Structure 1
Amino acid sequence: MGFLGRTCLIVLSLLPKVSTQDGSSVVGSDQPLIASPGEDVILPCHITPSLSAVDMEVRWFRDSFDIPVHLYEYQSDWTDVQDSDYRGRTDLSIFRLEDGILSLDLRNLRHTDSGVYSCFATDGAWYGQGKTELIVRALGTQPSVSRDSTQGEQTRLVCRSEGWSPEPEVIWRDRDGNDVTSLSNTTVLRDSQGLLSVSSYIKIKQQSNVFSCLVRSKTPKPDWESKLHISSDFFPGVSGWMVAFFLTLALSIGAIPLLVIQWRRMDAMERKLEPMAAQPS
């Protein structure tokens, strides 16, 4: 908060609370407002008990009191002092102000709009302030799981997803559903648009398994999950079951000539016995 803003609040705090608004307060939202980029929202705020705010100063701001997201004073909107990022995207309804509703219309949301907004109202002798949190949630892409590298009997898998806001949570599970996230490490990068890309790595030793990567938004919105079957092809060397299989196959192939020889012997013996069986007793 700048020097002018601090001075304003100090002066207001020293003024006697004697006015028609004595006992009133400004109330924001106790729950975060969740929306997606491009949407329009209304940031809730009101005076309780209800009274008209048409002749008040109503100021919405985020980090700096001196750079308002929206400023209404002397029954007019002051866009020349407004934060340039919000210019042309905000509105206060004069009809709602008559009922003490200070809610701010915010259009065409951007992911950079996420944050805590303060709603400040004063008539010169009385003032009140409420807060509302806005989360602009961008659900990223379906995660992809692939082999990143192999060293000896150990393989490293990587799970990638991009286009998130705010930062998501990544959870790894094995075939049995066990959480193995503690074995992984995750890096997060911000792209040119300010959205987040995540890459999570995990090392595995199992020769055959199914691993799933869940990328979950920290806000109550849908999750993305991808699974990968880790076959023995990912690992060098020949596995035990393959040795057994080929050994059985070799023994079976080797036994074929012996069976053929035995069959021929039995066939020749039957032919010799046929004349003897045909003679009358």
Structure 2
Amino acid sequence: MEVRWFRDAFEKPVHLYLNQRDQLSRQDSDYRGRTALSPSALERGDISLHLRNLRPSDRGVYTCVADDGSWYEEGQTEVIVAALGTQPSISMDATQGEQTRLVCRSEGWSPEPEVIWRDRDGNNVTSLSNPTLLRVSQGLLSVSSYIKVKQQSNVFSCLVRSKIPKPDWESKLHISSDFFPGISGWMVAFFLTLALSIGAIPLLVIQWRRMDAMERKLEPMAAQRLREELECGAQSE
């Protein structure tokens, strides 16, 4: 009996079992060493294909053919391969004039993910972004999404979501007004504190002079009282 698993081309089998043995020399090189049929399962009529070390490029429709010369049957099944990428990172890429460009990056996705930008109030601002996809090794994708924002304190979140139901990755970035030119909040606080400190200096000087004069005035009185106490002590002895 012949058992043949293939994808696009019948003559390039993903796995071929013929004459009671695996015909590995006729196998598609992309699947070399990654496929197997269970001998014990074959005795029960189970011709399921075992595919190891799954890759994004393995996704697609597979056809299975069973033929013993007098009986022929075939069927198809679809393999869906999904990879959840890395936690997205957000950074400030550049500042030009009154705008700053943020970039959200994530790697290792399959299939192509969806990128969603939101502002502090949860509003979807994805329409302001420009997503770019870069294909990397073994069919996995890395995504870089850019968005331009106004120079004001805000919080932006970047959500990278798989189109196949899976957990989502989300990262947030708080943009402080300190990053932007002009008079920022901390500078206003600094100068206000400095002005109050300068204004308090004359008051401190006046208070110090009053205390110094009072101290000089009390010194003779304290000395006289100390002499009287010493004299009284000597008489009692």
* TM-score calculated relative to the size of structure 2: 0.74
Q: Secondary structure at the match of 1:218?
A: coil
Q: How well do the aligned residues superpose, as a CA RMSD in angstroms?
A: 3.1
The higher relative CO (CA closer than 8 Å, separation ≥ 6) is in 1
**Number of aligned pairs?**
215
Aligned to 1:134: 80
Aligned to 1:22: none
Greater Rg by CA? 2
Alpha-carbon shift at residue 190 of structure 1 (Å): 1.9
Map 1:84-123 to 2 at 5 A.
84-123=29-68
1:205-253 deviation per Cα after TM superposition (whole angstroms, max 9, x unaligned): 15111112222233344433222111113222124x5575456436534
Stretch moving more, 153-162 or 118-127: 118-127
1:38-97 deviation per Cα after TM superposition (whole angstroms, max 9, x unaligned): xxxxxxxxxxxxxxxxx3x32211121221101223433222221011122211123323
Structure 1 gaps of 5+ residues are 1-54, 268-281
> Is the aligned partner of 1:66 residue 2:4?
no
User: Aligned to 2:156, which of 205, 211, 223?
Assistant: 211
| Preserved contact between residue 7 and residue 61 of structure 2 (Cα < 8 Å) | yes
Hey, which of these two has a bigger chunk of helix by percent?
A: 2
Aligned to 1:164: 109
| Preserved contact between residue 154 and residue 235 of structure 1 (Cα < 8 Å) | no
User: Aligned to 1:195, which of 140, 152, 173?
Assistant: 140
Structure 2 letter corresponding to 1:173 = R
Alpha-carbon shift at residue 106 of structure 1 (Å): 1.3
Structure 2 letter corresponding to 1:166 = P
Q: Secondary structure at the match of 1:85?
A: helix
* TM-score calculated relative to the size of structure 1: 0.64
> 1 CA distance for matches of 2:23 and 2:187?
80
Aligned to 1:36: none
Q: Secondary structure at the match of 2:196?
A: helix
1:168-198 deviation per Cα after TM superposition (whole angstroms, max 9, x unaligned): 2222222222222222111111234543221
* 1:61–1:250 CA distance, 2 compared to 1 (3 A): same
Aligned to 1:33: none
Alpha-carbon shift at residue 264 of structure 1 (Å): 8.8
Structure 2 gaps of 5+ residues are 212-237
